[in-house]
Amino acid sequence: MKISIVGTGYVGLVSGTCFADVGINVTCVDIDEKKIENLKNGIIPIYEPGLETMVHNNSEKGRLSFTTSIKESLENTDVIFIAVGTPPDEDGSADLKYVLEVARQIGKNMNHYMVVVTKSTVPIGTAQKVKAAITDELEKRGVEVDFDVASNPEFLKEGNAIEDFLKPDRIVVGTESEKAEKMMQRLYKPFLLNGHPIIFMDIPSSEMTKYAANSMLATKISFMNDMANLCEIVGADITSVRKGIGSDARIGNKFIYAGAGYGGSCFPKDVKAVIKTANDNGYSLRVLKAVEDVNNDQKHVLVSKIKEEFGYNLDKMTFALWGLSFKPKTDDMREAPSLVLIDELIKMGANVKAYDPVAMEEAERILGDKVEYGKDPYEVLIDADALIVITEWPEFRIPNFKVLEKLLKNKVIFDGRNIYDPEEIVENGFTYYSIGRKPFKP
Ligand code: UDX
């Protein structure tokens, strides 16, 4: 089989590389010449564990190639995936200009049957727009070429993307023809071992599935954060409550961790987009609006705790920040709670010294020298008034309390991810603020 993937962002590059890894001939396309040049030389544009080696191995075996030309990639292709960006425009709806431009390029250049698959997260109805754009171009050319459109949303998590792609919980495909369904079934056969299902449905349902999945996950998080805030007020501990409810199989113990709010490239954008889709159709998604509100507020929760400890005047104080990325194992800073926190601290006159194992370069691109960056977790503690943990990187989990005590001016830790055992922190003489439980003082 031969496939093409347009867009070498997160989804496109991971998908292309994983398809190549199971022996499929893959051409990845991007308009960014520099990116393609780099990829040809094995330099990848994102941080994702394992990806670089996999790109290298599959390129070497000749199964994975890169080009800037959609036309070139269409040669002998059975399936072409559109995996370009759909950035939110001002009103929150996904901007389809890149997706539809790719569709037009396909229409201008296709000469044989293929399945055109939307893999980017796109609003309901997009596959039909893709179909119309291709048909329009074919008509302009005065040629008739048979093709099908399909929708195949991606559920991969940053930091775990390869594993998620190779061993998916499920593959969702929306089609409108048996021919396309057969083609997609064949393409995904190598990933269907161990009983992972491929679920076929109509195209609008497939497009909707992606939004519903991310909305449900965002809802779980906001629900837990809301409960966490109430736990603090009534003297309960959200980590115990989490265990108490998570052992009910109907609720499940995954994705119910209270924290400093969700971020990333998907949840905030998709929640906004689906609320907008509902509004456009005269319906109000009341639950999701609350999910969004809770999350926006949750990103400020650590600042409230800092004020509780140090008062409202943080002028000239310095805070050491562990973590910058929106979650561990990625350098992605999009919608990261750290950005809101840093902004507030600076507004209140404080200085921030930050350390992140991989996201500092990316953070510097956004924040410039508003923040001081450290070489390691302990360097940023020198002369800092307190430590704040906002991303739960594994290397922050067992801190050296002796060093912490020596370097910090005050023995205070604010933990936005509940990674520490309060007893241990207090035994070491520190005051400990976390999420959804009372402050612990020695
Ligand atoms: C998410 C979806 O999981 C994935 O299926 C979809 O394809 C894209 O969006 P990702 O953005 O990589 O993936 O991150 P994820 O691991 O899901 O975490 C999202 C955010 O939720 C992070 O900010 C994380 O810190 C937060 N989170 C997650 C919590 O606050 N609590 C939890 O229990 C789980």
Kindly state the helix (H) or strand (E) to which residue 316 belongs, with its residue range.
Answer: none
pLDDT at position 87: 86
What letter represents residue 363's amino acid?
A: A
Nearest CA to ligand 1 atom 7: 155
- Chain centroid offset of residue 69 CA: 28
If you measure from the C-alpha of residue 253 to the centroid of ligand 1, how many angstroms do you get, rounded to a whole number?
15
Residues of the chain with CATH 3.40.50.720: 2-201, 211-297, 299-433
- Residue 375, φ and ψ in degrees, nearest 5: -80, -30
Question: Is residue 66 scored above 80 in pLDDT?
Answer: yes
**Residue of 18, 28, 231, 266 marked catalytic:** 266
DSSP 248-309: STTT-SSS----S---SSSHHHHHHHHHHHHHHTT---HHHHHHHHHHHHHTTHHHHHHHHH
Question: Is residue 194 scored above 80 in pLDDT?
Answer: no
What whole-number percentage of the chain has pLDDT above 70? Answer: 100
Radius of gyration over every alpha carbon of the chain, rounded to an integer in angstroms: 24
Give the range among 190-204, 246-260, 325-339 with minimum mean pLDDT: 190-204
Q: For ligand 1, what atom is nearest to the CA of residue 218? A: 21
- The Cα 210–Cα 280 span in angstroms is 19
pLDDT at position 94: 83
pLDDT at position 288: 98
What whole-number percentage of the chain has pLDDT above 90? Answer: 95
Give the pLDDT confidence of 16-65 residue by residue, as tens digits: 999 999 999 999 999 999 999 999 999 999 989 999 999 999 999 999 99
pLDDT at position 312: 84
Name the superfamily (CATH) of residues 299-433: NAD(P)-binding Rossmann-like Domain (3.40.50.720)
Question: Is residue 93 scored above 90 in pLDDT?
Answer: no
Give the pLDDT confidence of 233-279 residue by residue, as tens digits: 999 999 999 999 999 999 999 999 999 999 999 999 999 999 999 99
Q: What fold, for 211-297?
A: Rossmann fold (3.40.50)
Average pLDDT over residues 173-180: 98
> Is 223 within any annotated ligand binding site?
no
> Is 255 within any annotated ligand binding site?
yes
pLDDT at position 88: 81
Q: What is the mean pLDDT of the chain?
A: 96
If you measure from the C-alpha of residue 141 to the centroid of ligand 1, how many angstroms do you get, rounded to a whole number?
44
Q: Which of 169, 207, 217 to mutate to test the pocket of ligand 1 (most atoms within 8 A of CB)?
A: 217
Is there a contact between 343 and 390 (Cβ–Cβ < 8 Å)? Answer: no
Q: What is the model's pTM? A: 0.94
Give the pLDDT confidence of 367-408 residue by residue, as tens digits: 999 999 999 999 999 999 999 999 999 999 999 999 999 999
Query: Is 266 assigned a catalytic role?
Result: yes
Average pLDDT over residues 347-372: 97
If you measure from the C-alpha of residue 394 to the centroid of ligand 1, how many angstroms do you get, rounded to a whole number?
17
Q: Taking CB atoms and a 6 Å cutoff, what residues make up the pocket around ligand 1?
A: 154-158, 214, 217, 221, 255-257, 259, 262-264, 266-267, 326-327
> Is 108 within any annotated ligand binding site?
no
Q: Which of 221, 341, 435 to mutate to test the pocket of ligand 1 (most atoms within 8 A of CB)?
A: 221
DSSP 85-136: ---B-TTSPBP-HHHHHHHHHHHHH--S-EEEEE-S---TTHHHHHHHHHHH
Is there a contact between 268 and 262 (Cβ–Cβ < 8 Å)? Answer: yes
Give the pLDDT confidence of 288-317 residue by residue, as tens digits: 999 999 999 999 999 999 999 999 889 999
Nearest CA to ligand 1 atom 31: 257
Question: Is residue 193 scored above 90 in pLDDT?
Answer: no
pLDDT at position 150: 98
> Is 327 within any annotated ligand binding site?
yes
pLDDT at position 166: 94
Question: Is residue 333 scored above 80 in pLDDT?
Answer: yes
If you measure from the C-alpha of residue 174 to the centroid of ligand 1, how many angstroms do you get, rounded to a whole number?
24
pLDDT at position 326: 97
Average pLDDT over residues 173-184: 98
Average pLDDT over residues 70-78: 97
The residue assigned the tokens 């349902």 is: 205
pLDDT at position 401: 96
Which value does ipTM take for this structure? Answer: 0.93
| CATH number belonging to domain 2-201 | 3.40.50.720
Question: Is residue 355 scored above 80 in pLDDT?
Answer: yes
Confidence label for 349 from pLDDT (cuts 50, 70 and 90): very high
Nearest CA to ligand 1 atom 20: 262
